[in-house]
A and B are shown apart, each in its own frame.
Chain A
Amino acid sequence: MIPAIGVGGCAGKLSILDPAGPAAGATALLWWVMLAGATASFLLVVALVAVAFLRPGIGAGIPPRRWLVWGGLAFPGTVLAALLVFALATGERLLPHPGSGATVVEAVPEQWAWTFRYAGGRETRDILHLPAGRPVDVRVIGTDVIHSFWVPRLGGKVDAIPGHVNTIRLRADRPGRYGGVCSEFCGTGHTSMTFTAVAHEAGAFEEAVSAASGTSLEGTR
Chain B
Amino acid sequence: MSDAARPLVSGGAAPRDTDTPEDLTPAQRDLARIWETPPGWGRLAAVNHTVLGRRFIVAAFVFFAIGGVLAMLIRAQLASPRSAFVGPELYNQIFTMHGTVMMFLFAIPMFEGLAIYLLPKMLGARDFAFPRLTAFGFWCYVLGGTILVAAMLLGIAPDSGWFMYTPLSSGRHSPGINADIWLLGVTFVEISAIAAAVEFTVSILKFRAPGMSLSRMPLFGWYVLVTAGMMLVGFPPLILGSVLLEAERVLDLPFFDPARGGDALLWQHLFWLFGHPEVYIIFLPAAGLVSTILPVLVRREILGYAAIVVSITVMGFLSFGLWVHHMFTVGIPHLAQAFFSAASVLVAIPTSVQIFLWIGTMMAGRPSFSVPMLYLVGFFVVFVCGGLTGVMLAIVPFDWQVHDTHFVVAHMHYVLVGGFIFPMLAAAYYYLPHVTGREPLYGVGKLAFWLIFVGFNLTFLIMHLTGLLGMPRRYASFPTGYGWDWPNLISSVGGFITTAGFALFAIDMLFQLRFGRRTKPDPWGAETLEWAMPLRPRAYAFASLPTVSSRTPLRDAPGLGAALERGEGHLATPRNRWQETLVVDMASGEPEHIAILPRPTILPLLTALAIAGIVLALLFKLFWLAPAAAAAMVVLLLLWSRDAGQRQDHGLLDAGRGLALPLHAEVARPASWWGVVFLLAADATAFASLVFGALFLWLVAPGWPGPEVVPLPPAKALALAAAVLAAAVAGRAAVAALRRSVPAAALALWAAAVAEAAALGLALWLMLADVPAPTSHASLAMTAAFLAFVALHAGIGAVLAALGVWRCVAGYVSVRRAADLRIGVLWHDYTAATALLSLVFLAALPWLVPLRSLARP
Contacts and interface: CB of A to CB of B under 8 A. Distances in A.
A155 B400 contact: yes
A68 B353 contact: yes
A52 B362 contact: yes
Given A67-B360, A145-B173, A188-B92, A27 B398 contact: yes
Contacts of B359: 45, 48-49, 52, 67, 71
A214 interface: no
Contacts, number: 269
Interface stretch (B38-46, B328-336, B489-497): B328-336
Given A59-B364, A62-B363, A161-B331, A72 B353 contact: yes
Interface string B387-418: 01101100111111111110000000000000
For chain A, the bracket of interface size reads 35 or more
Most A-side CB within 10 Å, residue of B337, B367, B380, B470: B470
Interface string A1-33: 000001000111111110000011011001100
A41 interface: yes
A181 B356 contact: no
A183 B398 contact: no
B469 A53 contact: no
B342 interface: yes
Contacts of B384: 41-42, 45-46
Nearest to B353: A72
A163 B363 contact: no
B27 interface: no
B395 A30 contact: yes
A191 interface: yes
B838 to A, nearest CB: 26
B381 A185 contact: no
B331 A164 contact: yes
A144 B173 contact: yes
B481 interface: yes
Contact of B476 (A83, A90, A190): A190
A51 interface: yes
Interface in B307-355: 307, 311, 329-331, 334, 337-338, 341-342, 345-346, 348-350, 352-355
A101 interface: no
Contacts of A156: 329, 397, 399-401, 403
A63 to B, nearest CB: 9
Contacts of A90: 397
B640 to A, nearest CB: 43
Q: Binding site of B, secondary structure by majority: helix, strand, loop or mixed?
A: helix
Nearest to B475: A191
Given A72-B356, A146-B165, A188-B88, A12 B483 contact: yes
Contacts of A10: 483
A75 B352 contact: yes
A216 interface: no
Contacts of A145: 165, 167-168, 173
Nearest to A88: B338
B103 interface: no
A60 B366 CA distance: 10
A200 B89 CA distance: 38
B348 A164 contact: no
Given A72-B352, A87-B396, A62 B168 contact: no
Most B-side CB within 10 Å, residue of A10, A68, A155: A68
Contacts of A56: 365-367
Nearest to A166: B331
A185 B355 contact: no
A31 B264 CA distance: 31
Contacts of B400: 27, 94, 155-158
B483 A53 contact: no
Given A34-B392, A42-B388, A62-B364, A14 B471 contact: yes
Interface in A170-198: 179, 181-191
Nearest to A153: B470
A75 B348 CA distance: 11
Contacts of B298: 52
A120 interface: no
A10 B350 CA distance: 39
Contacts of A184: 165, 404
Contacts of B477: 191
A16 B350 CA distance: 31
A14 to B, nearest CB: 3
A182 B307 CA distance: 45
B171 interface: no
Given A13-B482, A68-B307, A91-B338, 10 more contacts: A14-B471, A51-B363, A57-B365, A64-B304, A84-B345, A148-B404, A156-B401, A162-B264, A164-B702, A185-B168
28 contacts: A11-B469, A14-B470, A17-B469, A23-B397, A27-B400, A34-B398, A46-B380, A46-B384, A49-B381, A53-B369, A58-B363, A62-B360, A67-B356, A68-B304, A71-B359, A71-B360, A91-B396, A142-B258, A144-B167, A145-B173, A155-B401, A156-B400, A161-B265, A179-B470, A184-B165, A185-B92, A185-B474, A190-B475
